[in-house]
């Protein structure tokens, strides 16, 4: 205020380019609002009426980037982009960004994006999905959303959000550029464009030269961004909002016209420290902090508007103060608005709302016959699981044009185990051979789902989920939570996994732990054990995604893909016929077979082993009931309770490791439900060996027989 009043403004290049006077005033107004909100958030935090704060000061030129885009272009924003959101709100009727953001600072249940769950930027009306705090984790899904725009030209999903000529924008900080997730996303965007795919994606790297306390080495960001094959680089001065608008407009025009990815390198400053109570003088010299403050973009704006004859310094100061007053007055009201108060209120957003889908007639019998060809005849015979899953995928892709399959080697090769064979020949671009990066596979799925597709991504082996688990845990699972279901990313993630491949592969191809999937709020995990049920369960999982917008993980036991026999070679008892379209297997329904004095609760390979054990036990005069959980998360407790009615003895067989896996949940529930004669057999807390000891650490038929007998004797 002192410097503007004294006309003491920083020097810099004169205003130039296509920004109009009205545009300049809109950017300046957004910048003043953003700055006032930053300052107000600190006042609120000190008063205990506001909570988490992270500011946008220094990054106000992002308002120019907003004006260079269209308000229906999806924007996945860096946390410092309040000015972007405010400027975009000015392009859409009926918006009140000041009030919305104050409600967010106050963690009010009326905050229109997260309902008081987090201080996030975001708005459904402004096509700004909320982002998590995990830096760069939104970039893989930006690649997916951009890819979906191209694919939708071949068939627009009924729930599509993005325009055919839309652009996706994703912004991030200079330190975040170094994250492997950011590098992966830049690489994937370049790779896809290099391969000829449409990729209308604009990355914006907001380079304030520092990440919390660690400086980016001089020249590093420009060097890295400039060396990305397939990604065109544009650079602008983020202290000069005319320059920002000019270059951003060129970048957006290029991306929209060429449908190729670009990155805008925007240099700026960070004011008021990193976040919350961060005091920059604890790691920067006072002179360094003062140098940044001297380059305050608002001071530059006042200079530039004066030079352009758009607004005088006095008028700019008047507006700045008026906005600050307005923000303070409205904050006093915002802090009085209701907050979330109960677990039920917080949790009401974990599961997104169901949606209504167009009811199609499905493919005609002729179309289906044409698609399946000779496979139709083979359907009359019992088949191993892998074929039945492949056919189920075929039927699902036929029935629902919005379904897409993506993963490593799923297309031309048809998957490592042949499950997706013929799909690419049958469905072309809806079956995508991705590059080798699990974060990209899940990001592709998330972004495509946000634009109305129903993705069926595949992770080649369970062990490799861990390379990308944040995409599932931090991104896909949390989107409804942070947007109150206004955005969702339904999908069915297929993962080949679990143990018992005879001597093949060792640990990484036989990973037997699902622990990482068991505690993600809202995610459903399903695991089939027999072919026809696998087909039915997959249909139900796709229904859960398409209709209920759920994120579902479908874990396919590799060792059972090709299993044909149960007790003796050639008996063919583990093959089944492809189920008719009318048959259904509902969410949470356990499988029950046999009856007897004791129940075995299991899933996956465990069911196969238990069935073998049951045959041997029957010869010894002991009858058992086998209960296949099928649904591992959440545990299907109601249905399990019904299946166990009248059973006093229960053996839990869990092929996963003893610690952290399904048996822990089942054992706990049995204890809480009042059972007193129950035991478990699990895998050891070990990795799996290759060669003859492949099953040494896993439950065995002998072990199950012995455990049943000893439990039976109690
Ligand atoms: C994956 C991850 N690791 C660490 C953090 C903690 N963190 C939050 S912001 C930040 C620095 C980011 O710096 P930069 O990308 O330059 O953005 P800026 O804050 O400077 O705008 C860090 C380390 C995080 N949010 N996510
Ligand atoms: Mg930075």
Q: What is the per-residue pLDDT across 181-192, written as a single tens digit (0 to 9) for each?
A: 999 999 999 999
Cα gap 38→275, rounded to integer Å: 10
Ligand nearest to the CA of 273: 1
Nearest bound ligand to the CA of residue 209: 2
Ligand 1 pocket check for 45: Cβ under 6 Å: no
What does the pLDDT look like over 111-156, one tens digit per residue?
999 999 999 999 999 999 999 999 999 999 999 999 999 999 999 9
Phi, psi of 262 (to 5 degrees): -145, 160
Of the ligands numbered here, which is closest to the C-alpha atom of 171? 1
Over its C-alpha atoms, the chain yields an Rg (Å, rounded) of 29
Dist. CA 109 → ligand 1 center (Å): 27
Which pairing describes strands 524-526 and 631-633: parallel, antiparallel, or unpaired? Answer: antiparallel
**CA of 33 relative to ligand 1 center, distance in Å:** 24
What is the rounded CA–CA span in Å between residue 178 and residue 183? 7
- The DSSP bridge pattern shows strands 631-633 and 491-497 to be unpaired
Say if ligand 1 is within 6 A of residue 213 CB. no
Sequence-separated (6 or more) residues with CB below 8 Å from residue 125: 92, 94, 95
Cα(694)–Cα(503) distance, integer angstroms: 5
C-alpha to C-alpha distance for 436 and 457, rounded to whole angstroms: 13
pLDDT at 359: 80
Is any atom of ligand 1 closer than 6 Å to the C-beta of 174? yes
Q: What's residue 613's pLDDT?
A: 98
Q: Mean pLDDT score of the chain, rounded to an integer? A: 97
Burial of 78 per CB tally in 10 Å (0-12, 13-18, 19+): buried
On whether the CB atoms of residues 116 and 101 are closer than 8 A, the answer is: no
Cβ 173 under 6 angstroms from ligand 1: yes
Q: Work out whether strand 262-267 and strand 214-215 pair parallel, antiparallel, or are unpaired.
A: unpaired
575 CA → ligand 1 middle, Å: 52
Looking at ligand 1, which atom is closest to the CA of residue 212? 11
Ligand showing the shortest atom-to-Cα distance for residue 212:
1
Cβ atoms of 37 and 106 within 8 Å: the answer is no
Which three-class secondary structure string do you get for 249-296?
A: HHHHHHHHHHCCCEEEEEECCCCCCCCCCCCHHHCCCHHHHHHHHHCC
CA of 206 to the centre of ligand 2 (A): 7
Ligand 1: nearest atom to the Cα of 177: 15
With a 6 A CB cut-off, is 208 part of the ligand 1 pocket? yes
Measured from the CB, is residue 134 less than 6 Å from ligand 1?
Answer: yes
pLDDT digits (tens, 9 = 90+) for 221-256: 999 999 999 999 999 999 999 999 999 999 999 999
Report residue 469 CA to chain centroid gap: 9
| Mean local confidence (pLDDT), 99-122 | 97
**pLDDT of residue 277 exceeding 90:** no
More confident residue, 714 or 706: 706
Chain centroid offset of residue 349 CA: 16
Is 131 touching ligand 1 by the criterion CB < 6 Å?
Answer: no
Token pair for 215: 């400086």
Which residue CA neighbors atom 20 of ligand 1 most closely? 211
Mutation choice for ligand 1 from 175, 214, 475, CB with most ligand atoms inside 8 A: 175
Ligand 1 site-directed mutation target among 58, 139, 176, most atoms within 8 Å of CB: 176
Mutate to test the pocket of ligand 1, among 212, 276, 283 (most ligand atoms within 8 A of CB): 212
Distance from the CA of 76 to the center of ligand 1, in angstroms? 16
Characterize 147-164 residue by residue with b for buried, 16 or more Cβ atoms within 10 angstroms of its Cβ, and e for exposed.
Answer: bbbbbbeeeebebbbbee
Tokens 């810099």 found at: 12
Indicate which ligand has the atom closest to the C-alpha of 80.
1
**Please, what sign has the CA dihedral across residues 231, 237, 241, 242?**
negative
Closest Cα to atom 15 of ligand 1:
173
pLDDT the model gives residue 713: 87
Query: What is residue 280's predicted lDDT score, i.e. its pLDDT?
Result: 94
pLDDT digits (tens, 9 = 90+) for 297-355: 999 999 999 999 999 999 999 999 999 999 999 999 999 999 999 999 999 999 999 99
User: How many whole angstroms from 209 Cα to the centroid of ligand 2?
Assistant: 5
More reliable by pLDDT, 712 or 43: 43
* Gap from CA of 322 to ligand 1 centroid (Å): 33
Write the pLDDT tens digit of every residue in 25-57.
999 999 999 999 999 999 999 999 999 889 999
pLDDT at 332: 98
Average pLDDT over residues 517-527: 98
Q: What is the pLDDT of residue 77?
A: 98
Tally the C-alpha atoms within 13 A of residue 379's C-alpha that lie toward its C-beta: 21
Tens of pLDDT, residue by residue over 459-500, are: 999 999 999 999 999 999 999 999 999 999 999 999 999 999
Which residue lies with its CA nearest to atom 25 of ligand 1? 134
- The residue contributing the CA closest to ligand 1 atom 26 is 134
C-alpha 65 to ligand 1 mean position (Å): 21
As a whole number, mean pLDDT of residues 415-441 equals 98
Q: Which ligand 1 atom lies nearest to the CA of residue 172? A: 15
What is the pLDDT at residue 91?
Answer: 98
- H or E stretch including 526? strand 524-526
Residue 204 clears pLDDT 80, i.e. is over it = yes
Q: How far apart are CA 407 and CA 460, in angstroms?
A: 7
Q: Is the beta carbon of 171 within 6 A of some atom in ligand 1?
A: no
Which atom of ligand 1 lies closest to the CA of 54? 19
Q: Which atom of ligand 1 is nearest to the CA of 79?
A: 21
Mean pLDDT of 685-714: 95
Q: Read off the pLDDT band of 276 (50, 70, 90).
A: confident
For ligand 1, atom 8, name the residue with the nearest CA: 135
Residue 527 has pLDDT above 90, yes or no: yes
Strand partners, 649: 598, 677
Question: Does the Cβ of 313 fall within 6 Å of ligand 1?
Answer: no
Ligand 1: atom nearest CA of 137 is: 1
Considering every ligand atom shown, identify the ligand nearest to the alpha carbon of residue 59 and give its number. 1
Phi then psi dihedrals of residue 531, to 5 deg: -55, -55
Res 714: pLDDT: 83
Q: Which ligand is nearest to the CA of 173?
A: 1
Q: Whose CA is nearest to atom 11 of ligand 1?
A: 211
Distance (Å) from CA 346 to ligand 1 centroid: 26
On the 0-12 / 13-18 / 19+ scale of CB atoms within 10 A, 295 is middle
The ligand placed nearest to the CA atom of residue 135 is: 1
Atom of ligand 1 nearest to the CA of 59: 21
C-alpha 219 to ligand 2 mean position (Å): 14
User: What per-residue confidence (pLDDT) applies to 143?
Assistant: 98
Measure 262 CA to ligand 2 centroid, in angstroms.
20
Q: Which ligand is nearest to the CA of 55?
A: 1
Task: Give the nearest ligand 1 atom to 133 CA.
Answer: 25
Spacing, Cα 177 to ligand 1 middle (Å): 10
DSSP 606-618: HHHHHHHHHHHHH
Residue with tokens 């420009």: 222
> Does residue 176 line the site of ligand 1, with CB under 6 A?
yes
Q: What percent of the chain has pLDDT over 70?
A: 100
- Find the mean pLDDT for residues 374-385: 97
Q: Is 214 in the pocket of ligand 1 (CB under 6 A)?
A: no
pLDDT band of residue 258 (cuts 50, 70, 90) is very high
User: Which band of pLDDT confidence, cut at 50, 70 and 90, is reported for residue 361?
Assistant: confident
Does 56 sit in the ligand 1 pocket, CB within 6 Å?
no
Report which ligand 1 atom has the smallest distance to the Cα of 275. Answer: 19
Ligand 1 atom 12: the closest Cα is on which residue?
211
Q: Is 626 helix (H, G, I), strand (E, B) or coil?
A: strand
Question: Does residue 503 register a pLDDT over 80?
Answer: no
Average pLDDT over residues 287-294: 96
Six-digit token string for 332? 């006093």
**212: Cβ below 6 Å to ligand 1?**
yes
Q: What distance in angstroms lies between residue 672's CA and the mean position of ligand 1's atoms?
A: 43
- What CA–CA distance (Å, rounded) separates 65 from 462? 41
How many angstroms is it from 268 CA to the middle of ligand 1? 16
Q: Does the pLDDT value for residue 691 go beyond 90? A: yes
């Amino acid at each position: 205020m002192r410097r503007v009043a004294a006309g003491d403004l920083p020097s810099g290049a004169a205003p130039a380019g296509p920004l109009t006077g009205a545009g300049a005033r809109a950017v300046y107004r957004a910048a003043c609002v953003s700055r006032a909100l930053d300052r107000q958030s600190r006042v609120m935090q000190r008063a205990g009426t506001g909570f988490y704060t992270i500011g946008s000061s220094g990054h106000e030129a992002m308002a120019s980037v907003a004006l260079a885009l269209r308000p229906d272009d999806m924007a996945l924003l860096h946390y410092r982009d309040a000015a972007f959101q405010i400027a975009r709100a000015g392009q859409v009727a009926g918006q009140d960004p000041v009030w919305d953001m104050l409600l967010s600072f106050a963690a009010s249940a009326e905050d229109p994006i997260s309902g008081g769950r987090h201080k996030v930027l975001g708005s459904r009306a402004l096509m700004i999905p909320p982002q998590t705090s995990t830096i760069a984790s939104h970039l893989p899904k930006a690649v997916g959303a951009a890819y979906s725009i191209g694919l939708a030209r071949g068939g627009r999903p009924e729930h599509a959000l993005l325009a055919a000529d839309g652009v996706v924008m994703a912004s991030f900080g200079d330190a975040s550029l170094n994250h492997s997730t950011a590098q992966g996303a830049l690489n994937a965007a370049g790779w896809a464009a290099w391969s000829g795919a449409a990729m209308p994606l604009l990355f914006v790297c907001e380079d304030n030269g520092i990440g919390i306390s660690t400086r980016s080495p001089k020249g590093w960001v420009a060097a890295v961004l400039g060396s990305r094959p397939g990604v065109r680089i544009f650079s602008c001065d983020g202290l000069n909002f005319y320059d920002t608008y000019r270059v951003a407009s060129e970048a957006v025009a290029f991306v929209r016209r060429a449908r190729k990815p670009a990155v805008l390198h925007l240099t700026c400053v960070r004011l008021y420290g990193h976040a919350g109570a961060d005091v920059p003088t604890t790691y920067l010299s006072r002179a360094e902090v003062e140098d940044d403050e001297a380059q305050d973009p608002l001071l530059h704006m006042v200079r530039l508007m004066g030079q352009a004859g758009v607004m005088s310094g006095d008028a700019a100061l008047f507006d700045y103060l008026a906005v600050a007053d307005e923000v303070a007055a409205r904050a006093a009201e915002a802090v009085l608005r209701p907050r979330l108060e109960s677990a039920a209120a917080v949790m009401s957003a974990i599961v997104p709302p169901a949606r209504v889908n167009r009811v199609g007639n499905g493919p005609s019998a002729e179309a289906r016959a044409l698609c399946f060809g000779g496979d139709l005849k083979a359907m009359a015979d019992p088949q191993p699981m892998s074929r039945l899953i492949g056919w189920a995928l075929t039927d699902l892709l036929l029935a629902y044009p919005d379904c897409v399959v993506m993963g490593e080697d799923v297309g031309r090769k048809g998957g490592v185990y042949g499950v997706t064979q013929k799909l690419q020949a049958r469905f072309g671009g809806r079956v995508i051979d991705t590059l080798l990066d699990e974060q990209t596979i899940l990001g592709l799925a998330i972004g495509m789902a946000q634009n109305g597709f129903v993705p069926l991504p595949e992770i080649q082996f369970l062990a490799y989920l861990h390379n990308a688990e944040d995409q599932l845990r931090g991104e896909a699972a949390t989107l409804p939570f942070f947007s109150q279901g206004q955005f969702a990313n339904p999908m069915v993630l297929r993962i080949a996994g679990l143990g018992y491949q005879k001597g093949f592969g060792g640990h990484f191809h036989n990973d037997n732990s699902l622990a990482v999937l068991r505690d993600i709020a809202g995610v459903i995990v399903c695991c089939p054990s027999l072919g026809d049920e696998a087909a039915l369960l997959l249909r139900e999982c796709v229904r859960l995604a398409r209709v209920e917008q759920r994120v579902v993980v479908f874990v396919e036991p590799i060792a059972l893909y090709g299993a044909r026999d149960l007790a003796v070679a050639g008996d063919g008892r583990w093959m089944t016929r492809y189920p008719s379209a009318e048959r259904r297997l509902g969410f949470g329904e356990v499988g029950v077979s046999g009856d007897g004095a004791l129940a075995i609760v299991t899933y996956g390979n465990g069911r196969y082993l238990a069935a073998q054990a049951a045959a041997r036990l029957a010869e010894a005069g002991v009858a058992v009931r086998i209960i296949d959980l099928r649904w591992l998360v959440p545990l299907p407790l109601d249905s399990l309770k019904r299946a166990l009615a009248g059973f006093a003895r229960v053996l839990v067989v869990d092929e996963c490791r003893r610690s952290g896996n399904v048996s822990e949940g089942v054992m706990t529930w049995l204890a809480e439900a009042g059972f007193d004669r129950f035991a478990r057999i699990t895998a050891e807390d070990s990795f799996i060996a290759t060669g003859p000891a492949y099953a040494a650490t896993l439950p065995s038929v002998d072990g199950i027989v012995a455990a049943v007998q000893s439990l039976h004797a109690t």
